[in-house]
Structure 1
């Protein structure tokens, strides 16, 4: 019993000693891992630098976004100005075509009006020749159906051109033209053709008036600029 008691005491002493040694080792290890004042100072400086850089990055990012918005706004304004300028140029081109300041070329139609080749002996010859109103009828119909430019015997006319009969010839803005009167127009030739050949159209009226009418679609018509002349 005494021997066994010694063993128990020795065991307790060894156990306490081992515990103390283990505890001392753990404390020493934790102290080794605990940062020193210099380490704390360096880490604090590093955190401060990182925060400062983050603030500077956010500031630069905000400035960049503001600059990009300004650039996008300027680009949009420039695009609108370019579009307006382009539209103005195109509108000016159209106006120059309408008033006849520039030559025009494209598809179209050719309408030839001639005096009747047959005049009954008992009839008035003036009833079988082309008059100014016949030419005006054709020109009006061509304008209504989208003609960009019209010429009579190669002479460009405008919406304000003066057309009148002078005996057997027609005076167009002071220039006399004998029959046949060839009216050329630039535009959609199919539309012109359909409009002029409708039942009861002006073509039928011209034929009823004794005017000989010939029409041809043209793939390429060229009409010169309008030249103002004295009557």
Structure 2
């Protein structure tokens, strides 16, 4: 019965059925193709996204490395500046220590010993034909000239007839006697100084300098180099 009915389908109907089947098959094939394409596209899209993430991380890491490098360079520069300032401050401290030691020596707080000079000042021989005998006597002004010249020339310590001078020492003259910090000394007056003997000797013997000035004032001056001079520190009651 069914076979008959199928055979009895008109020719136009069979063509229509075939055409519908063909279109349906084409649609199914196209749908499958789109599904496959979407699947492949979706996979490639995930890979691209992952690759982009790694690229962004790499860029961020490079930027971070650049910032760290700049920070390291800055810190190294700061360290160099600190080391430089430390060396300079260390040198400054050494200079301050030397200066403080020199001040203690000049004030008499420390014992001083070393090479130096011995300068003797003696009254000149009096000439009765001269009106004023004081013109032949050593005065405190002569002592001051010698002491000031020695200090300028780098003296570490100075004494007069064994009495060591300090920052507040006072010297006065009473006739032929010189008083140093309350102690009286008669002539000759021996001034000893600790320091570089070559520098000190050149300073006092300079043309027109201290020795020439004292000699012109009729003072007998004797200068002698000393290989060792020892000056003890002053006691508290001597300052």
> Post-superposition shift, 1:88?
5.6
- SS of 2:115 mapped into structure 1: strand
Between structure 1 and structure 2, the one with the greater Rg is 2
Alpha-carbon distance between aligned partners in 2 of 1:120 and 1:89, rounded to the nearest angstrom = 52
2:233 to 219, 225, 231: 225
Alpha-carbon distance between aligned partners in 2 of 1:101 and 1:202, rounded to the nearest angstrom = 28
Q: Counterparts of 1:156-175 in structure 2 under 5 Å?
A: 156-175=164-183
Q: TM-score, with normalisation over the residues of structure 2?
A: 0.59
1:196 aligns with 2:196: no
Cα deviation, 1:110-138, whole Å, max 9, x if unaligned, reads 1000011x211122221101111001100
Alpha-carbon distance between aligned partners in 1 of 2:179 and 2:224, rounded to the nearest angstrom = 24
- Partner of 1:149 in structure 2? 157
1:106 aligns with 2:123: no
1:120 to 98, 116, 127: 127
Q: TM-score, with normalisation over the residues of structure 1?
A: 0.61
Alpha-carbon distance between aligned partners in 2 of 1:214 and 1:223, rounded to the nearest angstrom = 20
Return 148-157 or 158-167, whichever deviates more: 158-167
- SS of 2:169 mapped into structure 1: coil
1:97 touches 1:103 (CA, 8 Å); kept in 2? yes
Runs of at least 4 residues of structure 1 off by over 3 A?
Answer: 75-92, 226-231
User: 5+ residue gaps in structure 2?
Assistant: 1-82
> Post-superposition shift, 1:154?
1.0
User: 5+ residue gaps in structure 1?
Assistant: 1-74
Alpha-carbon distance between aligned partners in 2 of 1:98 and 1:187, rounded to the nearest angstrom = 12
Q: Counterparts of 1:1-231 in structure 2 under 5 Å?
A: 89-116=97-124, 118-123=125-130, 124-227=132-235
Alpha-carbon distance between aligned partners in 1 of 2:119 and 2:152, rounded to the nearest angstrom = 16
- Structure 1 residues 129, 81: closer, same or farther in 2, change over 3 A? closer
> Post-superposition shift, 1:94?
2.9
